[in-house]
Structure 1
Amino acid sequence: MPRSASVPAPLQCEIEELWKRRAELTADDPAALAAVKEAINLLDTGVARVAELVDGDVVVHEWLKTAILLLYKLARPSESGFGPFECADRIPLKSGIAGSGVQVSPGAVIRWGSYQAPGVVVMPSHIGIGSYVGEGTLVDSWVGIGSCAQIGRNVHLSGGVGIGGMIEPPTARPVVIEDGAFVGARSMIYSGARVGAGAVLGAGALLTDSIPVIDAATGAELGRGEVPAWTVAVPGTRPREFAGGTFGLPCVLVIKRLEPGQRHDKAMLNDVLREKAPHI
């Protein structure tokens, strides 16, 4: 399996060996748990990532995914407080946010093992373990970022956006939102789908690895589950014939192409919001 930069090779080998004998591991194995926690700390601090773009392709570091799965097996539930609420979870909340350059509003739930770079703004939302959020990104209210999702720099995830998690199987590609993308309110992105750099995805879109992405100007299918970089795309439907009649199935329509570096009006709004949000 590939290894992230700055990650000690012995740790990866240890995690891979633990994964091979996972059936025999129990929570009473402190050495195994210590190795797993060391791997999760790499994710928590941004030293390592579950997946990253290499020459335009998504490369998955499977051993880090297996470390997350091993944590669920080895860690015991522990009690913690969240405002007036009590929690009992195997994965604690992230700590040490103050002074990191990340702004977190009341009501946000950020789990240990996720990383948020300096300049990230997190409104009341949920960020899962193994996920990565790049510098300057805005995570708006009621956004859910699932485990292992990879969010780039200067992205705007609008209110109510759902980004699916993808821990299992370890080989599965997580959702990737590339640098500078804008995802409209209530959009749902799952199953390893990808939004390209600088793309604008309209409100209410559904994007999975099986949803066709269609060029509205030509009707040609551009692919499935991937919104091309520097395009404006919106939710749509296309008719399909079934025994019971003609029904509209969801698709995503590319309605405009942008010049690389060109900002759409909605993306420009994000710049204003960042200017108004002071960093801690």
Structure 2
Amino acid sequence: MTATLTPVDVRPAPSGPAPRSSRLWTVGGTLAILGALLLGFVAEVGPLGDLRQERDRRVGYADLRASLAEATAPIGPSTEPGTPVALLKIPQLGVKEVIREGSSAEVLASGPGHRRDTVLPGQAGNSIVMGRRAGYGGPFRHLDTLQPGESIKVVTGQGEHTYRVMGVRRAGDPKPPAIQAGQGRLTLMTATGSPYRPDGVLQVDAELISPLQPGAVPAFRFGHVPDDELPLEGQDSAWLPLVLWAQALLLAAALLVWARTRVPRAHVWLVGFPVLVALGLTAGDKAALLLPNLL
């Protein structure tokens, strides 16, 4: 008996749209990128930002205490931004924060910052200290509850200085009397409005009631600090690193999609997910610096 062979159909597969599973995986990769960015952003202005600020506060306190003990704490304008320069204490609010030089979004992510176009606390003239209301621990969240007559203390390389609160003011409120020669004043600044949605600047004015200390000319003429150190300004220099980290996140997601077709899915997520989260947190940190510095 002779076997009959049946011809095999070898026609090429018809061209058309990508398989459904491939399209779904591409959509999933895109959502993974967006999810990583959103997760990083929310975490940085929320719980992780709070942890970061607490860590920076402890490190800054140790550095400041060492410089005070060695009599090397800065008392002039030649300090680099981010350097601890003073310790702010408001007992009635439970505030004990390290003041760093500068008031950009990056500096204020670590705690209150001293505006570089004003004198240091304890010296003649007006010293301005800015701090966040909600993000990164929100050290100035209860600043609006201060009452006239209450005290604020600031420790610098020139000793401890005591201020008496004059009042709290918002946009449109009367300004306090002009500072006279031989007087010192402290102005604390933060944001008004609902948390994470600032709509103005809140200021607390306090007069120096302890002995005046000799001072130096500020690093900048008043009002001429870089724009990103003014109230409610973001840090434009964060755009470049944000773009670079976002590109790294895009590349990691593309490699994740490529690896999906070659190794088991469980292995892809086991390796790829932590990488996406790490890149998302880093990119989110840079994106948060674009927001108003008093947020």
- What's the TM-score bracket when you normalise by the shorter of the two chains? under 0.3
Provide the TM-score with structure 2 as the length reference: 0.20
Greater C-alpha radius of gyration? 2
Q: Write 1 or 2 for the structure with the bigger share of strand.
A: 1
Higher relative contact order (CA 8 A, sep 6+): 2
Provide the TM-score with structure 1 as the length reference: 0.21
Q: Write 1 or 2 for the structure with the bigger share of helix.
A: 2
